Amino acid sequence: MLLVMDVGNTNIVMGVYRGKELVAHWRMATNISKTSDETGMFIVNLFHLNKLDIDEINDVIIASVVPPVMYSLEHAVRKYIKLEPILLEPGIKTGINIKYENPREVGADRIANAVGGCEIYGGPLIIVDFGTATTFCAVSAKHEYLGGLICPGIKISADALFQNCAKLPRIEIEKPGSVIGKNTVHSMKSGIVYGYVGQVDYIVKRMKVEMNEKKYTVVATGGLARFIAEESETIDEVNGLLSLEGLRIIYEKNKV
């Protein structure tokens, strides 16, 4: 079996593959203060609770955009799974031609998403990832990573209102039911939710014009993907585990 890990600023998403079948997946908070033993025992317990044998793991592959957490995570893998993890970093085979000015600047999560998206949906492709940041990635019909955008995430924006506006409260991210707010909380929820829906639709439309392809698939991923996709006019597919699939494919391309 293969263990894949996508380490983001808010969550670490993990999946276990038996061949091409995803047999289990979990999400845990990213915490740079956790020791390797805390992380390792958490992973061991997840396997135990799901009646999976951790000794059946043959390889581990990790994509990370959080360098401070990697020391503990890598040591946890070595100590508790007894394997040397494969890292998604420059030099690894992906099958994607990265057209960024500096390919090393492209986040590992964005590369994993692009690989998974090309395998499942083909190209051209626009991927919208609703994580701590909201990212937009453009992939051509030739599987070229053309670039994209990075925007403040939904929760970051909601927290910024609370932290920087003295009379505004902290709110839950949920649909208010109507665009025109009838009170402060309603108005804030409406601004966050429908503001992001409008942002997504406008940016995707502009990306399509610049990419100048004939037909596109727009895929949303990340924790709030389905939430925004329900209101969006441009999102075609929702795949919350796109990065895990991408990591599996990258592993297949690199295994000896």
Which residues are catalytic, by number?
109
Burial 247-256 (b: 16+ CB within 10 A, else e): bbbbbeeeee
- 49 CB-contact burial (10 Å; exposed 0-12 / middle 13-18 / buried 19+): exposed
Pure H helices in 36-131: 36-49, 67-76, 108-121
Classify strands 21-29 and 97-98 as parallel, antiparallel or unpaired. unpaired
User: What are 85's two structure tokens?
Assistant: 């993890």
Burial 50-78 (b: 16+ CB within 10 A, else e): eebebeebebbbbbbbbeebeebbbbbbe
Q: How crowded is residue 220: how many other Cβ atoms within 10 Å of its Cβ?
A: 27
Residue 142 three-state SS: coil
Q: Which amino acid is at 35?
A: T
Rounded to whole angstroms, the Cα distance separating 79 from 60 reads: 13
